[in-house]
Amino acid sequence: RGLLTSLVTLLLLQLGSAQLRVEGPGQPVTATVGQDVVLPCHLSPQHDARSLEVRWIRRTISETVHHYRNGEDLYGEQMWAYSGRTELARDGLSDGRLDLRIFGLRPSDDGQYVCTVKDADDYGETIVDLDV
């Protein structure tokens, strides 16, 4: 009986500390200079992301493209090159979608982006390739 109680407790602890699983499109996103583009990213399994911290980063230079936390966009750390050109798609947050819109693509936008998500206990990330 003591062993069963220990196993159940261990299982509940593991379930309570599940990492955030973040997924991207699995293939490059292709767009043309001047277009607007959506970089897809979502939580799996799907759950409400409105209270999480979401940060999109340029992978090669580790600079912030867009930062969202607790319902607010935070522009203090945003790369100058993306100023006024990004938006986290709010319509999907309650379903775990963390899509980033980039307006008016430039050749310099080509490359890898990292969609990162964290809450008080967990962290997850995925890479999204953008071919411009």
Per-position pLDDT tens, the chain of length 132 = 554 444 333 333 444 445 789 999 999 999 999 999 999 999 998 889 999 999 999 998 889 999 999 889 999 999 999 999 999 999 999 999 999 999 999 999 999 999 999 988 899 999 999 999
Q: What is the pLDDT, as a whole number, of residue 61?
A: 87
Q: What is the pLDDT, as a whole number, of residue 1?
A: 55
Length in residues, the chain: 132
- Tokens 């890479």 locate to 127
Instruction: Identify whether the C-beta of residue 93 lies closer than 8 Å to the C-beta of residue 100.
Output: no
| Strand-strand pairing, 42-43 and 22-23 | antiparallel
- Domains located in the chain, CATH noted: 20-131 (2.60.40.10)
The three-point CA angle 60-92-118 to 5° equals 50
Q: What is the pLDDT, as a whole number, of residue 99?
A: 98
Tell me if residue 93 falls in helix, strand or coil. helix
Q: What is the pLDDT, as a whole number, of residue 60?
A: 86
Q: What is the DSSP letter of 46?
A: -
